[in-house]
Amino acid sequence: MMKIGLVQIYGNDITLSVLEGRKRDLRLVEQRKFNGIEAMDDGLSFDAAVLSLPLDILQFRRLRLPFSDVNKLKEVVPYELKRLVLDDIDDIVFDCVVRDADKGDKDLLITFVKRGWLEDTLRALNAKGIDPSIVISLELSKVINGGGFEDVFSGNAGVDLHELGELLAGEMDNPTINLRQGDLSFTKEYREKVRYKKRALVLLFFLLAVLLFNSGERVYIKRKVLKNIDSRMNGMYTELFPGSKRVIEPLYQTRARLKALKGVIKDIEGIDPLNLISVLSERWSPGVVLAELNIDTDFFVLKGSSSQLKDIERLVSRLGEIFPDIEISETDRTVDGKLRYVIKGTTGPAGKAFGSQGEKDEAE
């Protein structure tokens, strides 16, 4: 639904008609008359505005030119018009209606109005919030569509209210003449487009600025986090090695030092034979004879014999409660029918419960 404001000028009388409807079906909803443009209400607003001039304001000239190409005609018209008007060609605004004549010629009706008058009128309407997109003449349209160019010179043709909507719709779709041309062109849409583009650019600018601020803040925070992680690692390193001044890669430096320390510990770490012997005696299985016991830093080996395999297995099972990593590694029969065995166990991490000499000292 469009709301169109039609301004018609008859001398000093201004008629403002408000029409509503679809593009091809406009209905008159209101008509008001004013005594001069200055008397019009301020702040009028329409979806589109049209200025219609009466025949008595317009001036006409007829031409017959031997061209059929309309573009070529338009190029020639200003020069032809110079001969036909008293005013300077730059002081008028014109448009023409072209019709076919005989012998392939074109019959032209040139319509013009004084530029200064039109400029003043448009400026005055603009001041009231009306910016006509086209400057037409409904009367001219009615006359030309009703007959020939000759009727234009015969006098004023009034436009009835009932035909206003139909005439205006037709003129808005395809105007007979439009004097809003050249430097008087309707630029409101263009200006609005420019304004929207400018607003979009300003908006983009602020958006990018906000984004930049956000990214900058994130970079700042991230750098702080990284610095914090660095200082935490350095702090751990200097806590472990207070005398150290060159801290480049705390993780790798600490790893190297840990490796060296573990090497030293391994060098001076002892075993706890009494404790192991005590555990063995507590969990020994009857029927199993121990011939040899080897105890090393991480493991122990039991060698001996038994008459039955199940006795050896029972022993391994009972020792397995303390040393989970224990197994029978060898068994073989001797000439006297006994079963020789070799049992290997680990006192490493699993042997923690069993305890090393160092841990015992710590407990004490």
Partner 1 sequence: MKLNKKNILLISIFALMLLNAVLFFNLRSLDKRERRLKTKLSGMTKVYKEYKEASSQYGILKKRAFIKETPSASALEGLLEGLQLRGKLTRIKPIQKKTVDGYSMEDLEVEVSGLTLEELVRLLYRLENGREGFIVRSMRLKRAFSEEERLDSSIEVLLLRAGSGS
**What is residue 109's three-state secondary structure?**
strand
Q: Among candidates 159, 126, 129, 130, which has minimal Cα distance to 142?
A: 159
Stretch that binds partner 1, among 8-16, 210-218, 309-317, 331-339 (CB under 8 A): 210-218
Q: Which is nearer to partner 1, 42 or 267 (CB)?
A: 267
Instruction: Write the CB contacts of 254 (distance below 8 Å, at least 6 apart in sequence).
Output: 236, 237, 240
Partners of 110 in the β-ladder: 61, 96
Question: Could you tell me if 92 and 114 are in contact, meaning their C-beta atoms sit under 8 angstroms apart?
Answer: yes
Identify how many contiguous H helices and E strands the chain contains and give both numbers: 9, 12
297 binds partner 1 (CB under 8 A): yes
CA distance 106 to 74: 12
Q: Give the bridge partners for 65, in sequence order.
A: 106
- Applying CB under 8 A, the span of 113-121, 157-165, 285-293, 338-346 interacting with partner 1 comes to 285-293
Tell the smallest beta-carbon distance from residue 329 to partner 1 (Å): 17
Q: Which residue is it, tokens 């986090």? A: 225
DSSP letters spanning 62-108: EEEES---HHHHHHHHHHHHHHH-SS-GGGEEEEEEEEE-GGG-EEE
- Stretches 16-24, 31-39, 197-205, 344-352: which one binds partner 1 (CB under 8 A)? 197-205
| By the rule CB under 8 A, 353 interacts with partner 1 | no
**Could you give the angle at the alpha carbon of 141 between the alpha carbons of 138 and 142, nearest 5°?**
85
Q: Which stretch binds partner 1 (CB under 8 A): 11-19, 121-129, 132-140, 251-259?
A: 251-259
Q: Shortest Cβ distance from residue 315 to partner 1 (Å)?
A: 17
Closest residue by Cα to residue 235 from 302, 244, 311, 334 = 244
Is 127 a binding residue for partner 1 by CB under 8 A? The answer is: no
Name the residue among 112, 96, 108, 95 with its Cα closest to residue 68: 108
Query: Does 342 contact partner 1 by CB under 8 A?
Result: no
Q: Cα–Cα distance between 65 and 70 in angstroms, integer?
A: 11
Could you say whether residue 204 binds partner 1 (CB under 8 A)?
Answer: yes
Return the residue of 48, 124, 233, 339 that touches partner 1, per CB under 8 A.
Answer: 233
Q: Which is nearer to partner 1, 24 or 266 (CB)?
A: 266
Within 10 angstroms of residue 84's Cβ, the number of other Cβ atoms is 13
223 binds partner 1 (CB under 8 A): yes
Shortest Å, Cβ 270 to partner 1: 4
Q: How far is the CB of 327 from partner 1 (least distance, A)?
A: 20
Candidates 30-38, 70-78, 124-132, 260-268 — which segment interacts with partner 1 by CB under 8 A?
Answer: 260-268
Q: How far is 74 from 103, CA to CA, in rounded Å?
A: 20
The verdict on 219 binding partner 1 (CB under 8 A) reads yes
Give, in order, the Cα–Cα distances in Å from 103 to each of 11, 71, 106, 131: 41, 19, 9, 42
- Regarding 101 and contact with partner 1 (CB under 8 A), the answer is no
Q: Which stretch binds partner 1 (CB under 8 A): 14-22, 99-107, 119-127, 292-300?
A: 292-300
Q: Does 154 bind partner 1 (CB under 8 A)?
A: no
In the set 277, 287, 321, 324, which binds partner 1 (CB under 8 A)?
A: 277
Min CB(349)–partner 1 separation in Å: 13
- Provide the binding-site residues for partner 1, judged by CB under 8 A: 198, 201-202, 204-205, 208-209, 211-212, 215-216, 218-219, 222-223, 225-226, 229-230, 232-233, 236-237, 240, 250-251, 254-255, 257-258, 261-262, 264-265, 267-274, 277, 291-297, 357-359, 361-362
